[in-house]
Structures are given as C-alpha cells and as structure tokens.
Structure 1
C-alpha cells in the first residue's frame, strides 16, 4: 500500500455499548489494511497512532506520519505529531496561557474579527494548586489562615481566572483548596475513554492529554497517554495545533514477585527512579508489564508514574487492565467503565498479561528485592536503604563540597541545634498523598506513636498538605486524623506546598540559629523533588520518603539515625520506642482502606468541587474582552500580537544585529527564564517598587507570570549566568556596545530597542536544556532577540523559540564562537534567505563585521526543521499564525 492510499473511512469501525453505536478508529483494521504489524506495537505508540489517524488532515498530520507510527520499530529519530484530547494546567503556568488567549481576543476584535472565535478548541482544565504557601502550620487554624493569605496575595490573578472561567468555552477552573492538579486529574478529571458527537455520529477514542507540569505522567498509572509540556506548546495544542516530537524508544519493565511486608509504594517508586536514572531513559517512554503488575494497585502505579521526570522518561505507562476498571468504579466513575472495557478490548489493548509488545529493550525488576528507602539529600535518584541513613548523612556531611558534600568539620557539629536536625517534616505532593495505602500507614503510625507518648521535638515544623479533600475525608472517617494532629500534622492546605518550595517560614528562631551556626539541617518530605534550595533556602539536606517515614523522622527529630537499631524516642512508660514498635502491618492498612474508602467518599467530595464559598467571593469583570488594568502588577495584556502586526517579514530583522550575550555550553532554561524569589535590587524588584509594591508583597516570579513587564526584566537575570561580554561579572549582565558600560541584560536590551537595533545571542552546545519553560522563549523575544546562534539546541526549547518568532541558527560541525574568534562586538547579518527560497534546514551565510571593517563569513544551518515551523516563523510565531487563520475564516 502506498502512503497516499490511506483513507480515514477505511479504518472506521462501529462498537455498540448499552444500545448506543459508537464509531472509532480500529487498530486491527489498520493492520488489515497493510500499514504494519500493529499488534506488536507498544501500548503508548498504538494510542499515538490512533490519534494521528483520527486527526489526519494531510498537512499537519500526513500519511508519512501515520506510516512512521505504524512501523515504529523501523523509524529512527522521525518527528511525529500528537493531538491530545484535552489540556490540564496548573495556575503558575496556566495563567499566562490564558493571558495570551485574552490578548488574542483583543487583537482579533481590533481587526474587525469575531472575538468569540478565540476559544480553546479542546477541553482545558486549570487547577489552582501552586499558590498556597504554608506560612502557618501545626495547629487547627493553619488551614484557614493560609487560605486567607493565599486569596489576599493572589486577588488580581484570581479575578482574571474568574473572568476567563465565565468568558471562555471549553475552559474549566478547579478553585483553590481542592487539591493538587495531578491527584484531581487521577481521581476525577480522567475518564480512560472519551466520546464526541461529530457529523451526527458518536465517536469513541482514548482520553489523552498534555499538561503544563512535569508530573503530568502520573495519569499514566491508569493507562492514559500524557506528559508535561511548556506553556507555548500547551497553547498551541489548545488552539488546535499538533505537538511534534521525535518518535521515542519504548523501554519495557518486567515486574515479577510482590512487595514484602513493610515495604511501601514510595519505596518502590524511589527504587525505580534510581534504577532508571542509572540506565538512562531520558526522552524515552516506559511501559510496565509482567505478573508483578497485577499485584500493584492503581494508586501504587500512579506513584511510580508520577516520578517519570525524576528518572527522565517522557512518560511511564501501566496499560489498562481489570484493576484500572475497578479503580474507576471505586472513585465514582463507574458509568464510563462499560465503554472503556469494550473499547480497549476491541482495540486489542486490554492488558491480559499476554506476551509483551516488541519493546526497544526489556529490563526486569523483582519486587521482592525492594526495601524501605529514603532518597537524598540533593537528588531524587540518590536512594539510601533506611538502615544506612545515619552512615550516609554523616558521610555526606563531611565530604568536601567539590565532591557533592557539605564540607562540615568537628567545629561545626556541636551547636545548640545539631547538624542533621529535621526542621521540616512535610506530608505533601501528589506523588504520595494520592495513595491511600501510604496515607493510612502514616495515620496508623501516628496513632500508635501517640499511644506510646511520643512527640516531635519543638524545632520540627510539621505540615500536612493532601492532594485532595478525599484524603482528609477518609483519614477522619478512619479516626486517624486526630493522631496526626496530635503530632502537629494538621491539614494546612490542599496544594503543591512544600514540594514546590511553598514551605513558608520555619519554627520561630530556627532560621536565625541555622544562619548563625551555618548548620546543615534537613527536611523530610513525601514529595518528588529535593534539589538543594528548592524546599527552603536554608535547608541544605532534603530527603524524600514515604508518609509514614516522614512521621517517624519527625518523631526522631534527626536524619542521622539508624531506625533499625536506634529508638525514635522514649515512651510515656520510660521505655525506648523503636520504629518496628509502631509500624502498621499491611493487614491493618488494608482493613481500614476496605472499611472507609469507597465511591461515596470520592463522589461526596468531587460533587461539590465547585461549591467553594471563598472562590464565590471573587469578583470579576464580565464580557468577551477582558477589562485590563494598566496598574496591575500581576496581569497585563500580552504584547506579542501588537509587535507582529507591524512587521512585514521576520527575514527583514536579520541584518546588522548586535550581540546581547556570548554564552557557554549547557545554558539551561533555568538560566534564561525568571524563577523563584524576586531580589530587591533586581530589575524586576526595582520595577515592582516603582509601582508601589512593598518588598514583602513581591510574591515570586511564578505568581507574576501573567505580567510580561515583570518577566522580561527577569529574563537572563540568573545570578549564576556567565556572559563573556560582561568582563567577568557573574549574573545577568552584558556590555552595552556603544558606551562600553556593563549593565543588566534588560537595560542593554531596552537601550538597543530604543535605537531600533535587532539582537542575537551566541551560545555553545545544548542551548536550552532543562524544563520546558515558556518564558525562556517569551522573555527572549520581548528583549528584542531575533536570532539564537548556538552549536546545538535542546529540542523543546528550540521549538519554543520558533513558536515565539525567534530564529534558531546552528554553527556547522567544528565551528564555534571561539574558533571564529568572535567576541560579541561585531555586527551580524544573515545572507541567503528569501521568502521564496527559504526551506527547512536550509544552509545560509552569517557575516560578522568587526570594528575595523574586516568581515568574518561562515556557513550556518537554519534550524527551522519542517514546513509547519516555517509557517510559524514567517508569521511571527504560533499565536499570530493561529490568529491569522481565525481572521481569514471569518
């Protein structure tokens, strides 16, 4: 069969469920049509293939794409498209995406178009979960006080979101204090399969999504294809554009055996993280199979899948089976089960434990070998067997800093607060709070500890931030919440909290003590990331552990303890209490789960997810167009459309460019994108103060992502950035060429823009590595940078640059800024590009004119990689491209 012979109608089949006929793309029929041996494909690739066939249009999704997916084993490094069925946003990344859509509406209206045409084309859910900060903890008033502060600090953002909730179709908001985006997705939003009415027919297809948070793969635990993307990619998908990515290898993990008594899903997830990080699965898909999968509950599967970013996989999938269907029933989604079961079985994708697909490679893990595990102190993959914890901490404490240690000596370990003291014990993060087995275990352990008379030391800040209200309901129903509260683990919020750094202040006086004595203190949390400085700027050692172990370490008050042989404390009878004395058995845990958790618990909470009294008090403007407030320091109209509308062709911006920076290898999106706290003397801090914002009200860059005036000032402002044009000064500085002054990157860019000069940035290898941060590309374009000339690019950031109208250009092999003796003082121009002849991956010529008039010419490769990217670039980016299409169709 030739590529051009593919016809959508030939692959359509009909499935009748409960008297209703549904049309669907039949994978077995595609195989009958001769596309390939589809039955042997990994589950995840089959779902991508179904999406490609169903969304085929001959332009964005072509026959070649379909053949590549159908013959996955035979294609290497081929780009393929993906159109998810829905989008999920958390509020830090979601607000700027909605700002862009609202701004597009304004531009469409100003050009005589219909603003109602600007709407998400697929369902979008925004879950507000990243804004709560645990300023108050350890008492019954913690939750209400934290909520009050959250609303006070984020009033402007929430008013905007409330307007969007009313104004946009296909857009739903889950208000604050309901839970973490991934747990709400797992327990409520996900449906396994979806239906749609099209041309008077009902269509049935897999639920799939992308999300603007790296832990979106958690939903892979129920067999749903999903992964995390940057905001620009999410906006493109929202507006009907496919996402393009290199077809991945798929690694199969055969699980055998079963977990031993006392071993938790967290221990398994941390062990998998360590194994796969060492193996190297970055950019790959992972699928689990084998007899061991049958004994792993869906929440346990989700715990493992949640950690995919930590071991580097794009996604980590457990195919649909009986346990998946049971979980849907147990969480109040029983109505969808007959459809889901019929669909997955008709597609030959219901996991019956048969022979596995033809994976790229198969690894094996014996669950019997998993033991109690802690991970840290700086990376999720650095696992430590629990009995080795004391030895591991003492070793890293004294190891030299250049070897990854803390460099402590005997003079720094005899202070009032000891090295290794646990100053934060936090049950937090979607990874574990979505899992009843470990949450019930934590509650039981706390109850037994209270009965023994144990309490945490006074210097330990204890926090409990469940991923959904369901957790509080079943803990209270089981009589376990009281024991946790007695130990200080009061519910202080429903959100991401400590895991994303929203820890708040430590116990009074502790921060001063840490700073005064330069102490290496610790946090213990049930999260997924523990990078140094992430959890709290003064806590240098951070360890990941299961919720019951979080409670245990809180009781011990230190991490340099061997819990196998050392007691956690002394009971009220004067006898030592060991971990084994209060550790709950699996039978106890299972009994409580069976007695307290059923579909009524989930339905009871999620049926009132919109009944939020505090959210109801938020006032917002009405109408199709947002009433922008020019004085707002949180929300401002995006300028991208205005800038593009006055530009005839981006190719006209490639002459006589000046260099803003010359950077080295492995410049990450963390170097480029504004993140974290806003320093007082930074450009962003000075701007906020000029707007009347007090320093205590700065909030952080994440909360202010809806205001480009703040974000552009924080772009390339990382204090560790090294620009060769800054005369050795570290941070976001550069040389302003006409004056030779060393000024901030923003100040230099502003001066150049006033003079009408276009800019470029020169860099080394792997430019744009790290998380897919949309502001790394947005900030770049707002600074007036038209070209990034690098030795190589990270895939997603290169795509994001194109999506924002910035041209990625690559040195040819063997050429670098150093080999060409470029110092950034030259004037740069690209020759050989015209609108008529410009094609993807075209070679062109860069000319650099030195001050003395000499010219350095060298060949370059234009990293516009396909025809779709060419269209985006020539239109000024993805958003203007979509806007022009909307206007042309009216």
Structure 2
C-alpha cells in the first residue's frame, strides 16, 4: 500500500467500473512536467513506501529542474516485463537456478516467482534457410522446432512452474509488434487500481511501445529478472528532450525516411541517457504506425525512450486492434483525468529542444554500417562508391581465408569468426526510385568497363547458378533484400506500399535479379491477412518475397545462408556485396558473414533494390530494369501513390483481423502443444543438454557478500576503438566449427549441421562464453591486423595471437585478472545480457572506456564488472597505452565503507598513471556491485524477507 503522503489516492468511474487511482495534481509542479515524467511521478505516488520511495523523491520529481544535470535517484517500478526468446531463455534459466540457490541456502524456492506480469514472445529463433518458395514458411518452422526442441520444452516448463509468466509460441509474430497490437494495456488494471502501463524489456527495441504512449525501455536480462522479482529499477531523473514536429510528410516519402532523419538528428544532438518526447501541432499528422516506427528506433539514436503522449490517434489504434470497449474507455478517461492527454498547443518544460518540419524529409537509406549514417537516396550511389574502398583489399582481384593484414603463419589454425546474432542476416532497402542494371545476356549486370571508367573498383565474377544459368557478380551486388523487423513490418502504409510496388513491377514484366536472396518476415499474422485480402500476395511471391516466417530474421542475423554459388563467389573473390533491409540494425558482421555492407531502407525500397540488384546505381534517376518490351522502367514508374496505399489500407485492414490473430495467442499450434512439459518447482537439468545448462553465478555464494577488493596485476584482454557495440561483444549469429564454441559442440557430440546459432544457445553459458568478443568485425588493437575474436596471450612467451576465450582461460588459471580498454560509446547497440555476462565469465574485472551507453554500463555492474572512464579529454592513445601493460586499480575498497568513490587510481608497470572516473552512478548500483552482481543482491534480499 502507498504511504499516500500527498493524499493522492482517489477513484475514477468509467462506465459501470470504479478504479482506484493516484491523482497527479496532488503533487505540486506536476502540470508543467513532460508527459514521460508525469508517468514516473504517478509511479512514485502509487509505490511510495517511506523507505525506498519517499515523499522527498516525489517532491524532487515535482520540482524537477529541466536545465539541471541528472543527480536525483528514484526507484521506478515497471508494471510488467516483456522478453523475446533469445534474451528470455537465460532469464528463465537464471530464475530456475535462483530457485535451487534459495533451496541450498535454506529458503523456499517458490519465493522465486515473478511478482510483475512477464510475457515472453518466441520470435528470434526462426531462420530464413528456405526462401523464394511457396512452402518456405512451413519448412522454416519445421527446422525451427527441430533445432530448438530443448529450449521450447524448457520455456513450457517455465510457463507452468512460474506464476504471472506467459509464453507466446513460435510463428505468431515479432515481440514488439505483438506488444503494440495485443499485449500493451496503455492503462494497466490490477487489484482494482488503474495506472499507466509501463514496462522494461529484454530487447532494446522495447521502446516501440512508446508510440502508444506507454513508457518503457530495454534493459539487460539481469535487470529484467530483478524487475520480475519486484525490485524497482534504480535510475536518475533524466533530462527530457522536447522534439517538436510541424508540417506533414511530402508525397513520395515514408515513415522510414522520417525515422532515419530523426535518428541522424538525435545522434548528432546527443541523447544518450535522456528521454525524448514528441510534441507540437505536427504530432496529430503522425499516424500511430509511424509513431511506433519512431519509438522503435530509440536505441539507434541512443535515448532511453522516445515517447508520444496519448491522443485520439492512440484511441483509434486501440479500437482497430480489437481492445475491449471498457479498456478503450478507461484509457481515454484516465489520460484526460490525469493530464496525460495530448494538448498540441502545450509547451511543457523540457531540458533541450529540437524541431523538425516534416515537409523537409526526403527519401533516404542508412549505411553501410550504422543506422545514424543517413544517405539521401539521390546520393546513395555516390556514397556507396566513396565507402567501397574501405571494404575491399586494394589491388586484389581474388581472395583467400586470411584475416586482413595477417600473414598466413600468424593466423590461428582453422580460425573462423562467428557472426552476430542468429545465423546469417540481411538488411533493409531504401525509399525512392531504384535503377537496375540492364541485363547483358543471362541476367548479367552492366558492369565492368563502364564502372572502371568511372573510377569505381570493379571485380566482375561469372557465377553459374544451380539451374545452370549464369550471371556476373561484382562489388555492390545486392545479395540480400529483406522485408523484415519490427521497425517497419508493424506499419501497414509501408508494407502495402511495398506490395503495390511489387504489383506494378510484375505487371511491367520485372523480376528480381537471380543473385538476390529475397525474404518476407512480417511482425504479425495480420500482415499476411491484409495482403491476402487485397490480393497482393501473388505479386510479392512473383518477385521472390515469399513468407519465410513470423519473426525477427534478417535484422538479428537470421537471414540464413546465401545460395552456395553466391557465397563461394563472394568469398573466393573478396567481393563487397550488400544487403538492403527494412530493419533497424546494420552493424558490421550482423546481417550475414558473407555481406560486408548493409543498408537500412523502407519496404518499398527493399523491393526496388531486389529488382535493381545493385547498390551501384542511382535509383532516383537510372532505370531499375527493362520491361518485357525492352523499355526502361524507373522507380517513379512503379512507385504507388499515397491515395493508392490509403485505399488498400482502408479497405482491407479491420478489427476482426486482430481479433482472429490474437484470439488464443498463448495456446500455440499443434507442434507447440505436442511438446512434452516437464513438471516440478525446480527444473531437472539434463547434464547432456547443449542448449540449457545450470550457470555458475551462485556457486559458493554465502548470505554475506565478500568485501570488495582492489585490482592488481591485471592484463588487457582487449583494446578497442570507438563505437564498439554490444553486437561486437555479445555472442550471436552462426557458430563456426573451428571456433572455441564450435569445438565445444563437436566435443559434446553435436554435428556441424545441428550447431544452430548463438542466439538459440543463450541458455548454455559454456557456448556463450566461448563466443563473447568473437564478432567477425571486432578489431582488437592488441592483435593488429586481425578481425574477430583474437587477442595476445601474455601467459605465453612473446604473447602469441590466440582466441580470446583460450587466452582468458589461461589468465584465469594463472590467477590474473583482466581489463578491457575502449573508446567512445562503448556498448551501444542492442541490450544484451550476454555482452556483460560473457565479459564477467571471461575474467574481466574492469572496463576502462572514454564513454558508455546506458544499458551496457548498467549490465556490467549487474555482473560485478567495474565500469571506469578515462579522464575527460584523455584516451588509451593519448596516455600511450598499448595494451601490453600490467594494470593495478586502487581505491575501489571505499565501497566497503558504504561510499562510492568518485575516482580510483589506475597505474601500470610502464609508469602510466591516471585517475579514472567510477561509473557507478546510483546507490542502488553500488549495492549490486558490493554483492557481486544484481542477481546475488536480489537473492540475498528475498531470503532475508
């Protein structure tokens, strides 16, 4: 029960129902707050307990100084937790392990149970192995169940063993789209109380729900576990960036163009650790689907959240998606009663301001490796040519298996670096007229001579396909064109636009180029329903965009392998081929191990680039291809008008579609229901399982934590540059046979064809630790010239090049602690618990970086790793650090006295000395670190109750 110091408890009558609410207007200063902070204020009023959440915290938020730097800690209690299966499986593994630990410490294992509703959507396990075939979906799902049976059985156990834990089975949709279409409440009702729906999720794109006015963001799995167990999220009251929207999008642009523009603006402005809130007259011109698209990309511009207030557009979307009349009435009544309803003329207090006239947005793509690197579509060809030399070896017309710059004898025998997330990936296309190469014979693009004359590196390679036909591949060929990811597949305007473009292309006799792997992976079944109703599915299929699955495929590395002949040509000749995808992530090594350059684009542009077949074209002015009569076809010829798109959306999408798709969403299909379900309060671990294993986090743990110790004699495991993402750190993607993880699986009797992906094996710490820091594009400066999971092992004479995992095992056996040195924005990218778990299990005790992104810094603390920051304006380079030094870090022991030191002393055996800033930012984080991690802290707290 709330202490109710402000007499805020009241009632709200909606129809025949009465709800207890906590009135915001009882807290002085609430009216001037931004929407997002009003949600936090209600949270504090309702959860005030006089200890962790006090009247002073409520006053501090009511008296928020918009211009001040964050300094006031508050405790935010999310209403619910959402997970996808890659990140959710280790959460459930940890909960199962905690039950056993409680039992060993004399407690009741049933105490370990979600106290907040937790929902897990299985969407990350389907891989686009089969594509361009009528039965692609069926075959991919069969492969998915075959690969993931152990994981799915474990999740079924969790669904029965834990209260308040529900699982959405495979083949339903992408977690974020399922969230906005069905799971999101907007206003939560629980125990007779009504309050804003808030959440944390184990995927950084949880922010998609911000488009519905729901405050939530991505956290590490370990933080999500704590939230499920009733622990509030410790945070500083953030700065809030007001982003004013005016005008309307011009004809020919899409939500994708808008979000890429916003991403570029906010990255340049700097919003890490801040809330972004959209306001102004232009908000009403932004459809809910576009709002969700913008919210989805919050991690790409670095903000904690990117939210739109509730308004009539929110209500219309709730009606469309089949929410009950009572729920819809409650949302509107509650929002208006609490001052949470959008006033387009209002100017709340904001810390910072930006403004965008929507009419200035132009067709755009982003790439070749970061979402914020927006390129106006008209300049895409020119920018591709400028970037290409960075992805090919100068003067090389062939290729070999060596890592760039590494002499053959220095390359560890048989080394292959794993990819990033689930297997092979692909990327989104772009948004304007695309040109395609004229065919020269059997589909060969018009290349070499002209390209060389224009100064572009060219290496045309003749390829023979499985059907006996042949074509030419060169740098810039589109190897993957994927309509995928929650970012865009939730948006019917861009999805219908893609289908109408396909229809017009097919009617002109156009086809995709034979080397393009085309995939369609919608975020929910509703998409295929309205495609079928509109009669558009056959046109997409004619271009090879057959349904491959309802899941997060290309964006996370699940693009599946390229056709064998394409893969061989690319690797044998070191071709820099590209992917175009309608996703949100295009980091290096993420999409597919064969694809070096990756571009984000809208679904219609994905289709256009599949037809064009190359990034080395200006699709705004050059023809995509020639029609059946030999006439050039330009993008403008097949680009659907706004009225055409709107007519299809209005005539085909209805409430009944959502009701049908979600009528029994947790039941699953026959395959899911046929899985055997283990029983019991504690899980019976299979010692032979290579998917789900009991992790070592609680081994030897007592009721009292060991004192914090300084670090002495540490070696550097990795010295990294700027913008190293969690995609570079976290194990993900395909598992190669000659890597430590591959060797482990082979030793445990797993055949290479059954390796599956790192993502699918996240419940096995033995596999995951071997894949940490093993991304194929990681560049460890200690081992110059290498790419992938390599370091130098200074436990051996001369410090030879070694796998990072092998070196870490040698260091740990010798009792030598490890540190990581890094540059700016360390840990940006997806929120992945294994980026922190793997770091800790490799023996890393501290990371010293120039700056961090929020989630990874927090997760490091949650795993007992100390995040430190170089002095302002200094770096490893400016201090002359090579990574070959031995480090000592002193002053950490002040934490034992209940204090968090502002700095600690870092010294090396070469005489370098500096004061590093301690990035333990809140008292709660200090408690986690003293306990060895957040899970240990929660476990001890629950036992003491």
Q: Indicate whether the TM-score tops 0.5.
A: yes
1:800-879 correspondence to structure 2 within 5 Å: 800-808=859-867, 830=890, 833=893, 837-841=897-901, 864-879=920-935
Whether the 8 Å CA contact 2:458–2:474 is kept in 1: the answer is: no
2:371 partner SS: coil
Q: CA deviation at 1:267?
A: 2.1
C-alpha offsets along residues 146-172 of structure 1, whole Å, 9 cap, x if unaligned?
Answer: 111111111211111111111111111
Whether the 8 Å CA contact 1:802–1:808 is kept in 2: the answer is: yes
State the match for 2:33 in structure 1.
41
State the match for 2:22 in structure 1.
25
1:94 aligns with 2:88: yes
Whether the 8 Å CA contact 1:466–1:493 is kept in 2: the answer is: yes
C-alpha offsets along residues 373-414 of structure 1, whole Å, 9 cap, x if unaligned?
Answer: 3333333233333344444434444689799xx998666254
Q: CA deviation at 1:246?
A: 3.6
Moved more, 420-429 or 341-350: 420-429
State the match for 2:791 in structure 1.
733
Larger RCO (CA within 8 A; separation ≥ 6): 2
Q: CA deviation at 1:236?
A: 1.9
Structure 1 residue corresponding to 2:13, chosen from 6, 11, 16: 16
State the match for 1:695 in structure 2.
752
State the match for 2:272 in structure 1.
282
State the match for 1:597 in structure 2.
653
Structure 1 residue corresponding to 2:218, chosen from 224, 228, 233: 228
Whether the 8 Å CA contact 1:840–1:863 is kept in 2: the answer is: no
Whole-Å separation in 2 of the counterparts to 1:15 and 1:475: 41
State the match for 1:777 in structure 2.
836
State the match for 1:621 in structure 2.
678
Whole-Å separation in 1 of the counterparts to 2:311 and 2:458: 55
Whole-Å separation in 2 of the counterparts to 1:709 and 1:422: 36
State the match for 2:130 in structure 1.
136
State the match for 1:650 in structure 2.
706
State the match for 1:581 in structure 2.
637
Aligned length: 868
State the match for 1:314 in structure 2.
304
1:589 partner SS: helix
C-alpha offsets along residues 559-580 of structure 1, whole Å, 9 cap, x if unaligned?
Answer: 3334444333333445433333
Whole-Å separation in 1 of the counterparts to 2:563 and 2:938: 51
Report the TM-score, using the length of structure 1 for normalisation: 0.89
C-alpha offsets along residues 77-125 of structure 1, whole Å, 9 cap, x if unaligned?
Answer: 2243322111111111111111100000111123332221111111111
Report the TM-score, using the length of structure 2 for normalisation: 0.84
Q: CA deviation at 1:700?
A: 2.6
Moved more, 653-662 or 332-341: 653-662
State the match for 1:80 in structure 2.
74
Moved more, 114-123 or 652-661: 652-661
State the match for 1:354 in structure 2.
345
Whether the 8 Å CA contact 1:689–1:695 is kept in 2: the answer is: yes
Whole-Å separation in 2 of the counterparts to 1:707 and 1:526: 31
Structure 1 residue corresponding to 2:247, chosen from 249, 257, 270: 257
Q: CA deviation at 1:495?
A: 0.6
Specify whether residues 76 and 608 from structure 1 end up closer, same or farther in structure 2 by C-alpha distance, changes over 3 A only: same
1:463 aligns with 2:519: yes
Whole-Å separation in 1 of the counterparts to 2:875 and 2:272: 27
1:145 partner SS: helix
Whether the 8 Å CA contact 1:222–1:320 is kept in 2: the answer is: yes
State the match for 1:329 in structure 2.
319
C-alpha offsets along residues 345-384 of structure 1, whole Å, 9 cap, x if unaligned?
Answer: 0111101322221222332222222233333333323333
Q: CA deviation at 1:299?
A: 0.7
State the match for 2:175 in structure 1.
181
Whole-Å separation in 2 of the counterparts to 1:759 and 1:430: 40
Whole-Å separation in 1 of the counterparts to 2:875 and 2:517: 51
Specify whether residues 735 and 578 from structure 1 end up closer, same or farther in structure 2 by C-alpha distance, changes over 3 A only: closer
Moved more, 314-323 or 261-270: 261-270
2:69 partner SS: coil
Specify whether residues 735 and 507 from structure 1 end up closer, same or farther in structure 2 by C-alpha distance, changes over 3 A only: closer
Whole-Å separation in 1 of the counterparts to 2:658 and 2:753: 39
Q: CA deviation at 1:556?
A: 2.6
Moved more, 498-507 or 817-826: 817-826
Whether the 8 Å CA contact 2:708–2:896 is kept in 1: the answer is: no
1:703 partner SS: helix
1:103-118 correspondence to structure 2 within 5 Å: 103-118=97-112
Structure 2 residue corresponding to 1:165, chosen from 159, 165, 187: 159
C-alpha offsets along residues 591-614 of structure 1, whole Å, 9 cap, x if unaligned?
Answer: 222221111010011113223122
Specify whether residues 791 and 426 from structure 1 end up closer, same or farther in structure 2 by C-alpha distance, changes over 3 A only: closer
Structure 2 residue corresponding to 1:204, chosen from 181, 188, 194: 194
Structure 1 residue corresponding to 2:332, chosen from 330, 337, 341: 341
Structure 2 residue corresponding to 1:527, chosen from 567, 578, 583: 583
Whole-Å separation in 2 of the counterparts to 1:270 and 1:814: 30
Q: CA deviation at 1:293?
A: 1.8
2:11 partner SS: strand
Specify whether residues 690 and 13 from structure 1 end up closer, same or farther in structure 2 by C-alpha distance, changes over 3 A only: same
Whole-Å separation in 1 of the counterparts to 2:261 and 2:916: 44
C-alpha offsets along residues 258-279 of structure 1, whole Å, 9 cap, x if unaligned?
Answer: 2233322222222222233333
State the match for 1:493 in structure 2.
549
Whole-Å separation in 1 of the counterparts to 2:483 and 2:3: 52
Whether the 8 Å CA contact 1:460–1:507 is kept in 2: the answer is: no
2:761 partner SS: coil
State the match for 2:400 in structure 1.
none
Specify whether residues 869 and 294 from structure 1 end up closer, same or farther in structure 2 by C-alpha distance, changes over 3 A only: closer
Specify whether residues 475 and 810 from structure 1 end up closer, same or farther in structure 2 by C-alpha distance, changes over 3 A only: closer
Moved more, 590-599 or 800-809: 800-809
Q: CA deviation at 1:779?
A: 2.6
Q: CA deviation at 1:625?
A: 0.8
Moved more, 186-195 or 511-520: 511-520
State the match for 2:469 in structure 1.
none
Specify whether residues 231 and 841 from structure 1 end up closer, same or farther in structure 2 by C-alpha distance, changes over 3 A only: same
1:439 partner SS: helix
Whole-Å separation in 1 of the counterparts to 2:882 and 2:478: 51
Q: CA deviation at 1:544?
A: 2.2
1:293 aligns with 2:287: no
Structure 1 residue corresponding to 2:693, chosen from 636, 658, 677: 636
C-alpha offsets along residues 209-246 of structure 1, whole Å, 9 cap, x if unaligned?
Answer: 11111211111111111111221221221222222334
Whole-Å separation in 1 of the counterparts to 2:275 and 2:333: 26
Moved more, 505-514 or 316-325: 505-514
1:365 aligns with 2:356: yes
Structure 2 residue corresponding to 1:680, chosen from 725, 737, 756: 737
Whole-Å separation in 2 of the counterparts to 1:310 and 1:827: 34
Q: CA deviation at 1:205?
A: 0.4
Whole-Å separation in 1 of the counterparts to 2:858 and 2:656: 45
Structure 2 residue corresponding to 1:421, chosen from 477, 480, 502: 477
State the match for 2:57 in structure 1.
65
State the match for 2:120 in structure 1.
126
Whole-Å separation in 2 of the counterparts to 1:830 and 1:618: 53
Whether the 8 Å CA contact 2:31–2:339 is kept in 1: the answer is: yes
Whole-Å separation in 2 of the counterparts to 1:117 and 1:570: 67
C-alpha offsets along residues 51-97 of structure 1, whole Å, 9 cap, x if unaligned?
Answer: 12222234433444333322222542224332211111111111111
Whole-Å separation in 1 of the counterparts to 2:152 and 2:105: 29
Whole-Å separation in 1 of the counterparts to 2:213 and 2:694: 39
Structure 1 residue corresponding to 2:569, chosen from 510, 513, 535: 513
Whole-Å separation in 2 of the counterparts to 1:476 and 1:541: 33
Whole-Å separation in 1 of the counterparts to 2:305 and 2:360: 24
Whole-Å separation in 1 of the counterparts to 2:238 and 2:675: 44
Specify whether residues 392 and 778 from structure 1 end up closer, same or farther in structure 2 by C-alpha distance, changes over 3 A only: closer
Whole-Å separation in 2 of the counterparts to 1:649 and 1:871: 10
